Chain A
Amino acid sequence: MACLALAAIEAANKIPPLSMASILQTHDLHKSFGALVATDSVSLTVQTGEVHAIVGPNGAGKTTLLSLLSGSLKPDSGRIEFNGKDVTRTPAHKRVRLGLARSFQITSLILPMTVLENVMLAVQGTTGHSLKFWSPVSKEKDTQTQAMHFLQAVKLQDKSQHLADALSHGEQRQLEIAIALALKPKLLLLDEPMAGMSKEETRKMIDLLRDLKGDITILLVEHDMDAVFALADRTSVLVEGGLIATGTTEEIRSNTEVQQAYLGEA
């Protein structure tokens, strides 16, 4: 009996049933840049707890979609619901506090600060206000401890005193993840975390993200299909701004239309 129950839990963790609560829903999202339609009536549902991959060719509008979700771009029409709340008009910085964090396709760090200081800035945002003008951050032991904890999660604790500028590309990508985690998100938007990484670095990053699976819901934009197959519970395919398919990663893998549109091309 116990065995059966465990297996059931495991199965539930692997492939979340569709009836599970959704954390994010977009309804008919549109965005154009002049004549170019970058997001074309996208209706997407991300289930709580899943890793949901978005794949698609270059210029398909993946980054644009993430920017709409994070709030750095405003949609022309459509609605975004996060955690049961309409956030379409919510400014970007407030969405972060609601639990929507993103990482960038092009590494975005405060390069002249140390690795620890970068993460501490993120922790600072989640622990009280930042209108403190007098007491030094270096005296905030709790902020430091928390930041170190997130560095440990991405195995960068030994580099905490290095300047972010001095890290290798792979390490900088890891730091981006630590920073995103430090925001304590409910949903993590990752824009090609493996971009520009070596095979070895990619493998490490896959392991790292696999560790996060289950704790955090992840929307993963990724070109590396091995990574997608290794991590994603479900996958959506975006072509020329529109979603052409959504399903379990297995289904997408064997979908001929998808193969023609995207996988065959790669």
Chain B
Amino acid sequence: MRGEQASSWPSHLLARLKGNLPNQVYFALVIALLIAPWLINALDQSFYLDLLTRALIIAIAVASLNLIIGFGGMVSLGHAAFLGIGAYCVGIPTYYEQFNGFVHLGLAVLCSALFALLTGLICLRTKAVYFIMITLAFAQMLYFTLVSLDEYGADDGLVIYQRSEFPGIFDIENPTTLYYAVLLFLLGCLYLTHRMMHARFGRVLQGCKHNEQRMQALGFLTYKYKLIAYVIAGTMAGVAGFFLGNFTNFISPEMMDWTHSAELIFMLVIGGTGILFGPVVGAVLFLLLEEWLSGFSVYWHLILGLMLIALVVFGKGGVHGLLSLGSNRGSQQNTTT
């Protein structure tokens, strides 16, 4: 309705950027992420490539959380469980000397989707605080199950001596290759989310977030749509876990601790819930701040907490909210883009 027809994609992109500060920042961020390894290698700062790789892996998990919290209105406090599942799907096969990356990735997708489906079937019968508590409970169950598995290192976890192999395709032992694989997958997830949220499915999901009773009265079985979103999100986070296991070369039950789930929510809020690029901004900012602040003061948790409170109080809608204040266009139109 806003003349979206007949425009080729560069002019379409320009129209979206014009006078829209948040979109300009996101565009710059994507460009920066695309050229970062080149810059970092030139400056010989490989530490930052590691930091960014980790941030982007976490960003995938936050983006998947955005799908259920930001667009679906389901606040889960057990999302780190999916990261853990994905990582164990690398660690356990490797322990048995199965290094094939397709096996690892396939297992990560399968196991996280299955876990999402089985827990979602039960969790989604509840709402609000009960939903938060039950997602937390399932994540903790998984945590304690893995702690009890002595074969796989129990609390101590497992060291992954070798990353997943994709023979003849690429070699993620190379940090730059791993970085681009992660970035590509992240951008793919964001694009998928964008398409879904503008398609029929996403409209129904967003309707459920704002007024589930209304959606039911329209004849939608809201439970079904929420469950599908939950499974898609869980699977995305599972793949993030696959990357995380490969990246850290180490897995332990601690990865699924509920504090990590809380951190994911924290990052989502920093970037702005329901904002497509919010998770990238949130994860990158969180990890950079954590890095700098922890070198600067042992009270960095406190400082970070205060910053979050300030962000929530003063800039409604996280960094996106702040950027929108500086933009002459309202943020209304962007909440779903």
B198-220: contact bitstring with A at CB < 8 Å (1 yes, 0 no)? 11111110110011011111111
Contact B335–A138 (Cβ < 8 Å): no
Contact A93–B221 (Cβ < 8 Å): yes
Contact A110–B211 (Cβ < 8 Å): yes
Contacts of A116 in B (CB 8 A): 1
A44-77: contact bitstring with B at CB < 8 Å (1 yes, 0 no)? 0000000000000000000000000010100000
Contact A111–B210 (Cβ < 8 Å): yes
Contacts of B206 in A (CB 8 A): 110, 113
Contact A93–B211 (Cβ < 8 Å): no
Given contacts A121-B203, A131-B200, contact A112 B219 (CB under 8 A): no
The verdict on B127 contacting chain A, using a C-beta distance below 8 Å, is: no
- How far, in angstroms, from A131 to B204 measured CA to CA in the complex? 9
The verdict on B150 contacting chain A, using a C-beta distance below 8 Å, is: no
Contacts of A102 in B (CB 8 A): 217
The verdict on B266 contacting chain A, using a C-beta distance below 8 Å, is: no
Contact A133–B216 (Cβ < 8 Å): no
Contact A121–B1 (Cβ < 8 Å): no
For B195, B214, B217, B225, the residue with the greatest tally of chain A CB atoms inside 10 Å of its CB is: B217
Contact A130–B335 (Cβ < 8 Å): no
The verdict on B332 contacting chain A, using a C-beta distance below 8 Å, is: yes
Contacts of B217 in A (CB 8 A): 70, 72, 92, 96, 101-102, 104, 108
- How far, in angstroms, from A134 to B199 measured CA to CA in the complex? 6
Q: How many residues of B contact A (CB 8 A)?
A: 29
Contact B204–A121 (Cβ < 8 Å): yes
The verdict on A84 contacting chain B, using a C-beta distance below 8 Å, is: no
Contact A130–B225 (Cβ < 8 Å): yes
Q: Taking CB as reference atom, which chain B residue is nearest A120?
A: B203
The verdict on A97 contacting chain B, using a C-beta distance below 8 Å, is: yes
Secondary structure call for the B interface: helix
Contact A137–B220 (Cβ < 8 Å): no
Contacts of B4 in A (CB 8 A): 138
Contact B199–A135 (Cβ < 8 Å): yes
Given contacts A133-B199, A135-B199, A138-B198, contact A108 B218 (CB under 8 A): no
Contact A124–B200 (Cβ < 8 Å): yes
Q: For B219, give its contact among A113, A137, A183 (CB under 8 Å).
A: A183
Contact A124–B204 (Cβ < 8 Å): yes
Given contacts A108-B213, A163-B332, contact A125 B219 (CB under 8 A): yes
The verdict on B196 contacting chain A, using a C-beta distance below 8 Å, is: yes
- How far, in angstroms, from A102 to B218 measured CA to CA in the complex? 9
Contacts of B192 in A (CB 8 A): 133
A115-126: contact bitstring with B at CB < 8 Å (1 yes, 0 no)? 011001110111
- Rank and list the top 4 A-B pairs by shortest CB-CB distance, nearest first: A96-B219, A132-B200, A136-B198, A130-B200
* Residues of A bordering B, CB below 8 Å: 70, 72, 91-94, 96-97, 101-102, 104, 108-113, 116-117, 120-122, 124-126, 129-138, 144, 161, 163, 179, 183
8 extra interface residue pairs, beta carbon distance < 8 Å, beyond A108-B213, A113-B206, A124-B204: A102-B217, A104-B217, A124-B203, A130-B201, A133-B195, A133-B201, A134-B199, A138-B198
